[in-house]
Chain A
């Protein structure tokens, strides 16, 4: 299976900060990369699909970039509701869509 590695595993930041989370694939996955946000006790929510496409209804402060093996999720100006855990997921491997281990974003 394709392995997905996120960094950092946890991150402390303040409201208004610009934050970047990185996801690296063990092999090239073209642009087949999704980002999800999960809040405690809730199901994951799709933020970004196909590496850089913003899901409908998601604030424009979220953006994604990258292709091949290296990808980033950027939050341009952190809001209080953005403190959550973020996961990347590859959809390149046919019907075996592995996740990264998650990045927990906490309030500084």
Chain B
């Protein structure tokens, strides 16, 4: 079974750093892009960025460029999303998802999704 399992909920203070994870299993982790999506409380889905674990090629949405860092460790089939200095506005649920579709040409889709990691930033 193809599965993405994310790390548990986090409660942090403004200014602290954080790294959350997304572990893939049941498939070749290095062969599929992994995307990250933010969902603020009561709001919709926002595309953050994507990484190819095979060579760590990473692309960011302009809204998130410079705000977060996406990385991956292919030796343990895990992708990461990290912040160097959290803000209260980073409070949200964060999802990872695997990109499906052709290797070089679309269309593409996202399935499966991780269960989500809730990040709460409060003083």
- Interface set of A (CB-CB < 8 Å, partner B): 1, 30-34, 36, 38, 43-46, 49-51, 55, 87, 89, 91-92, 94-102
A44 touches B113 (CB 8 A): yes
Supposing A87-B44, A99-B45 touch, asked if A45 and B62 sit within 8 A by C-beta, the answer is: no
B100: which A residues are within 8 A, CB to CB?
49
* CB contact between A44 and one of B46, B59, B95 (< 8 Å): that residue: B95
Bound: A49/B114 CA distance, A: 18
Within 8 A of A (CB), among B86-123: 95, 97, 100-101, 106-111, 113-116
- Interface set of B (CB-CB < 8 Å, partner A): 33, 35, 37, 44-47, 50, 59, 61-62, 95, 97, 100-101, 106-111, 113-116
Supposing A87-B45, A97-B35 touch, asked if A34 and B110 sit within 8 A by C-beta, the answer is: yes
A34 touches B50 (CB 8 A): no
A34 touches B59 (CB 8 A): no
B33: which A residues are within 8 A, CB to CB?
95
- Nearest CB of chain B from residue A52's CB, rounded to whole Å: 11
Pairs A-B, 9 closest by C-beta atoms: A49-B109, A91-B108, A46-B111, A43-B113, A95-B59, A32-B107, A50-B107, A102-B44, A99-B45
- Nearest CB of chain A from residue B30's CB, rounded to whole Å: 17
Bound: A102/B50 CA distance, A: 21
